[in-house]
Structure 1
């Protein structure tokens, strides 16, 4: 299984802080596409992705037992 973690607005849109998806090697882009198809109101514009606590690009591969975090931009004052 691949663990997906969501933060801030992404978590609010999905309605959960974590999802598990079938163990299958795929790219970050494929995971994003799956999420956007499943949650039509979801926006991943500007969202950073980390795999196993290291920032990742859309073409990076994810495999079973990996943890993928979706981190939206944050602002503060």
Structure 2
């Protein structure tokens, strides 16, 4: 699946996007797999309350299932103005 990173998440990880193979069943499990990779992922996902997630371009939460998913995107909360 494709994993996309936006704003400061992208800056901390150093990539805008990557293709990964995962055995994770939920977004939360995917986050744990990513955090275990290296320190930069740990830093990016240290505070999940500061992150939002979209699965196949639909805003969802971290317990969303990943079966059949093509894309997961992580980004900070959006603000209006």
TM-score class, shorter-chain normalisation, is 0.7 to 0.9
Q: Distance in 2 between matches of 1:76 and 1:54?
A: 19
1:46 and 2:41 correspond: no
**Unaligned segments of structure 1, at least 5 residues:** none
In structure 2, how many angstroms separate the alpha carbons of the residues matched to 1:40 and 1:23? Answer: 17
Structure with bigger helix share is 2
Match for residue 61 of structure 1 among 49, 65, 75: 65
What CA RMSD, in Å, does the superposition of the two structures yield over aligned residues? 2.1
The TM-score, its normalising length taken from structure 2, stands at: 0.75
Aligned residues: 76
Which structure shows the bigger proportion of residues in strand conformation?
1
Write out per-residue CA displacement over residues 32-55 of structure 1, whole angstroms, 9 at most, x where no aligned residue: 112222223223432110001111
Q: Secondary structure at the match of 2:43?
A: coil
8 Å CA contact 1:6, 1:18 repeated in 2: yes
